[in-house]
Structure 1
Amino acid sequence: MDFNPVILSIPLYFLLIGFELVYQLVKKAKIYRTNDAISNISCGISSQVTGALWGVLSIGMYQFVYQYASITKVPNAWWSYLLLFVLVDLMYYWFHRASHEVNFLWNTAHVVHHQSEDYNLSVALRQASFGGAFSMLFYLPLAFLGFNTYAFLTVKGLNLIYQFWIHTEAINKLPRWFEYVFNTPSHHRVHHGRNPKYIDRNHAGTLMIWDRMFGTFQEEEERPTYGVTKPTNTWNPVWANVLPIVDMTNQVKATPGFLNKLKVLFYKPGWQPVELGGYQMAPEVDKKTYRKFDVHPHMPMIRYVFVQFVLVLVFTSLFLFTQSNYSFEVKLALAGFIIWSIAQLGILMENRKSWIPVEFLRLIASAAIIVFLLNENFSYGLAGGFVILFSFWLFKSSRKV
């Protein structure tokens, strides 16, 4: 049950991001922006950390259906894994499509993944914190059919790993037969486009045949403009998850009539009653006036945020690999600290100087965690102590413009 291919592949993810950075350097292309990439990966951190807390309930739901409601028990054989691969991808297609066509799912489970206005491998890691809470409902038929939990988690993890490499502009078109059957960078660039003809297209995970079968396929005709029609304009990963829910809640409150309120939740994003203007189509992108959100602080603060982000990333990786060693209370406290950290670093990247004193509090909290680690492992605690002292010095230096 602790086997998670997605977490085990974390080193591979960053190795490929490194290759893409080298490609950017060689081609002199502007693929990455530091603030956007940190925000993307921070959303991934938030998603994995929250998944560590509620993931047990989600997996338990699947196991319960498999154990008590399955119509048969599918044996572990090569053919059953192959069949499960196809079925997992089909279920993913419908969850993914529903996450675009049902406003409630879009705002709670998926919009975060589309918020970046860049397109690179870091965007693959940009995931919503609440997505897994709803996706499992779409996979429960597989438990009912009798595919055991371990096989399901393995195949589902491999399905997600495949989708990492398609988030790149470094690869143009692949051979026609491959483009016809499988999801590719070209197909998925379309999916991330905010151009009206690209919206709600190419929902496939691995196999592009589902979009061709169900009428949602769109060929890439020109490079898309990426992002969402209402830009989030924040580097704070917590606010990036919360803002769409706040906006949806406000829309429900402002919509007259109980039935109309339900339609706001379960109809497509952009729907509203006729008296409020009717369904709002996505506007065409004017590339002459379009500008990406790109606020950032002075360079010393950027360097400080980057160093702290790397430290938080290392700490998160250790947490994810060792979470089974902690009690629920400790796990909750460490998860809370990680989410606070990525939110605080996002705020600092937005140059909000009023939040600088809060960073001192976070560093003090970091020291308290080091004390805890000192009790658990002296060498880890000692190394952590030096990191905290270095962080205080670097933060003090970063405040000098």
Structure 2
Amino acid sequence: MPFSLFGADKIPFDSIHTIEKNIPNIILWAVPVMLFFTAIEMAVAYYQEHDFYEKKETIGSILVGLGNLVVSAAIKLGLLYLCIWIYNLLPWRMELQWWTLIPCYVIYDFFSYWAHRVSHEQRFWWATHVVHHSSEHYNLTVSYRLSWIQHLKIVFFLPVAFMGFHPIIFFVTNQLGVLFQFWVHTEYIRRLPAWFEYIFATPSNHRVHHGSQEQYIDKNFGATFIFWDRIFGTFEPEDEPVIYGITTNIPNKANPFFINFHELSDMVADARNAKGLRQKLFYIFGSPIKIAEEKKRMSVQETADERVGV
């Protein structure tokens, strides 16, 4: 029988639970391994008296990570329904072939780059991502800090689903993409061979992304492949030591609800107090950097007005 990649049969919705069972839960399987290496890093850092960990931030990271696992499990079936619905719409449905994981992963990572970049450039999406940047220390637990509302960014990956990849391939690709980012959140792996640093988002490349210095802000968005940043002009090598965190660090470091929703709360408050539709939209969809500059300017102006009695 001749091989055919496209034109796979539709997936009946009454078989969705079978499909769900056939999707390997790679992240859940990996949790014990992640915890093992985190414990080792934590012990070594303590023994060497490095300040890579801070108690409240570590608690916050773990609680955020646990919450994300719960949210992901709760919405998994709904996302699977969506993927199967899209898959069944297409005349170019791909057969379930293991090797289609390779092009799917590369394409998925391309859209991940843009989803990540937009998450830094527009405040609405920044509110779904800031949790990952709110730690002032860089260690393996930072990889646990994934927003509970980050799944809204599925809209950025719908083009991948519309390419006809089998839903199982799509879900496995997502999990592998998330897991890849675990090992890059460490201070213990310095520079790797030049060819590897040129292609992949290594710990060195990703430390830059978490920097709060001006030269590091909004750089190195690549999740697995750093060559997207080289192509689109957002690459920055690790030069001076990185200062981690956000430009205005959060006070409540252990509360997972505050960590997840503080920016969303501030955004809603700013939009509510803004004058006119244009300013409201600015505070929701504007650049986080420009919004911070505008709020700082207004604060300085208000202080000056108070001094002159206006």
Note whether the superposition's TM-score is higher than 0.5. Answer: yes
Amino acid at match of 1:151: I
Aligned match for 1:14, one of 28, 31, 35: 35
1:36 to 2:57 alignment: yes
Deviations 1:47-99, CA, capped at 9 Å, x for gaps: 1112222332233222211122x241123335422111101111111111111
C-alpha distance 35-96 of structure 1, shift in aligned 2 (>3 A): same
| Partner SS state of residue 184, structure 2 | coil
Deviations 1:253-274, CA, capped at 9 Å, x for gaps: 2221102211221221133499
> Which residue in 2 is equivalent to 1:197?
215
Deviations 1:289-347, CA, capped at 9 Å, x for gaps: xxxxxxxxxxxxxxxxxxxxxxxxxxxxxxxxxxxxxxxxxxxxxxxxxxxxxxxxxxx
Deviation, 1:217, is: 0.6
> Which residue in 2 is equivalent to 1:88?
108
Conservation of the 8 A alpha-carbon contact between 1:271 and 1:278: no
Which structure 2 residue ranges, 5 or more long, are not aligned?
1-19, 300-310
Cα separation, 2, equivalents of 1:50 and 1:253:
28
> Which residue in 1 is equivalent to 2:85?
64
> Which residue in 1 is equivalent to 2:129?
110
Aligned match for 1:98, one of 105, 118, 121: 118
Cα separation, 2, equivalents of 1:143 and 1:197:
35
Conservation of the 8 A alpha-carbon contact between 2:68 and 2:147: yes
Cα separation, 2, equivalents of 1:257 and 1:80:
49
| Partner SS state of residue 224, structure 2 | coil
Q: Matched residue pairs, number? A: 277
Give matches, 1:1-400, under 5 Å.
Answer: 1-2=20-21, 3-68=24-89, 70-107=90-127, 109-132=128-151, 134-234=152-252, 235-272=254-291
Conservation of the 8 A alpha-carbon contact between 2:222 and 2:229: yes
Cα separation, 1, equivalents of 2:100 and 2:267:
41
Amino acid at match of 1:238: F
Conservation of the 8 A alpha-carbon contact between 1:260 and 1:273: no
C-alpha distance 221-251 of structure 1, shift in aligned 2 (>3 A): same
Which structure 1 residue ranges, 5 or more long, are not aligned?
281-401
C-alpha distance 263-178 of structure 1, shift in aligned 2 (>3 A): same
C-alpha distance 190-279 of structure 1, shift in aligned 2 (>3 A): farther
> Which residue in 1 is equivalent to 2:13?
none
Deviation, 1:227, is: 0.8
**Structure 1, 197-206 or 135-144: larger mean CA deviation:** 135-144
> Which residue in 2 is equivalent to 1:376?
none
Q: State percent identity of aligned pairs.
A: 34
Amino acid at match of 2:116: H
Amino acid at match of 1:91: F
Conservation of the 8 A alpha-carbon contact between 2:100 and 2:169: no
C-alpha distance 276-30 of structure 1, shift in aligned 2 (>3 A): closer
| Partner SS state of residue 61, structure 2 | helix
Cα separation, 1, equivalents of 2:121 and 2:51:
32
C-alpha distance 279-96 of structure 1, shift in aligned 2 (>3 A): farther
TM-score (normalizing by structure 1) = 0.65
| Partner SS state of residue 153, structure 2 | helix
Amino acid at match of 1:16: F
Deviation, 1:276, is: 6.4
Amino acid at match of 1:166: V
C-alpha distance 78-51 of structure 1, shift in aligned 2 (>3 A): closer
Deviation, 1:277, is: 6.7
